[in-house]
Amino acid sequence: MTEPLQSASVASTTASSPPPGFVEKTPLERYLPPAKPSLVGLSRAQLSEALASVGVPAVQRKMRVQQIWHWLYVRGAREFAAMTSVSKELRAALAAQFTLARPEVVAEQISADGTRKWLLRLGDGHSGERRHEIECVYIPDADRGTLCLSSQVGCTLTCSFCHTGTQRLVRNLTPGEIVGQIMVARDRLDDWLGVARPAGESAVASSAGGQRLRQGGQRLVSNIVMMGMGEPLYNFEAVRDALLIAADGEGIAISKRRITLSTSGVVPEIARAGAEIGCMLAVSLHAVGDELRNELVPLNRKYPIKQLLDACRNYPGLSNARRITFEYVMLKDVNDSLGEAKALVKLLAGIPAKINLIPFNPWPGSRYECSDWEQIEKFSEIIFNAGYASPVRTPRGRDILAACGQLKSASEKLSARERLALRAMAMTD
């Protein structure tokens, strides 16, 4: 459940695009747990406390935690009755006080390139109000399957080129709601071990891409990027707890080397991310000077480029094997000159880095255009010749607004102009 933190009049003004120069939004609501909370997203210590609350003796708790952890995160159990190695009495006691709920799939869109976007409804809502919705994207490749997770309902920040940045910030997600996105993806992709799929649900594992991944010994969901809705470092504790569950070798078991957290530059939390999560880091840079970055990423007014790069140079575990990815969205006649490519190389000197060039993904109402492909290639060549890996990210899921910078929950009503633009892009109503 949720409870408003601000008046309806404040909510109505923050639902529209923020004014120029606006840096951060404040959450409109806070999370209140339901009467029967889900066990999804609890740490081992919290799960032990849950077992204590239903009368499990202390001497048994470690074993019971391990059993339930396995059923949740290896087999993907969706009801306590499936946990056949747990006594009927304990299953009944747990079912009386807890659930195994994850977010509800409201809609699924499948791109021509195989990308899947899910609109997920959270298990909150108060006084009959509509439950909140977020988006999660799965991107299949020949050698991996990447899941893009959201960390907030809306976003704290106001990046001018990002569709999600135009949305109000409703609240932070809980660890369970973040882990729940992984659970939903594995449910939809039939990516659990040894659990039969409920009747009527289609699987993806029989597709050519799925077979390649299975034959190669990988799960369909093999990588995680915290690049969906929200700024992860403004929801640090929940993101940390969720990613540690995702990386647990006896559960979901996605290596920290395959987990990337992307930040727009919340400098005070960057060192904590390295020390307490230990995942790979990506930084949304997008400009080589403070004046332009102030416009593109208004958070830069609070944490300018020098402070951001100092934090990157001191990121725990940074090495040539654990490089930082700098994301640079290519905006026509804004940040794509060859002079800016040379300046970018100088700016990142001494930082083990990969520079990820992202063709701008248009969204209804955006004022930017994507750089010409010839210009992107020239920009990339300068970076490559300076010794940096400079892949150009292939736009994925553009036709379902699932590409980088496009996520915005369908719970946000579209204007007439936006609806027309979506139709022009061959989107469904």
Angle at 201 between CA 134 and CA 199, to 5 degrees: 135
Residue that the structure tokens 């060859």 belong to: 338
Residue in 133, 135, 231, 295 annotated catalytic: 135
Q: Can you list the positions of beta strands (E) in 229-352? A: 259-263, 280-284, 324-330
Cα–Cα dist 216/307, whole Å: 42
135 belongs to the catalytic site? yes
Indicate the helix (H) or strand (E) that contains 136.
Answer: strand 133-140
* Residues recorded for the chain: 429
Report d(CA 297, CA 264) in Å as an integer. Answer: 7
Both tokens of 185, joined, read 């993806």
Q: What angle do CA 401, 403, 408 make, to 5 degrees?
A: 50
Catalytic: 231? no
CA-CA distance, 87 to 141, in Å (whole number)? 41
Q: What is the DSSP string of 50-94?
A: HHHHTT--HHHHHHHHHHHHHHHHTS--SSGGG-TTS-HHHHHHH
Q: Closest by alpha carbon to 76, among 153, 187, 200, 157?
A: 187
Question: Residue 146: in which H helix or E strand, if any?
Answer: strand 145-148
Residues 303, 74: Cα–Cα separation, whole Å? 40
Amino acid at site 325:
T
Buried residues in 69-85 as b, exposed as e (16+ CB within 10 A): bbbbbbebbbebeebee
- Distance CA(148)–CA(102), nearest Å, equals 16
**Dihedral pair phi/psi, residue 418, rounded to 5°:** -65, -40
Tokens at 187, concatenated? 């449910």
Catalytic residue (one of 148, 155, 312, 404):
404
CA 62 – CA 47 distance, rounded (Å): 10
Catalytic center residues: 135, 404
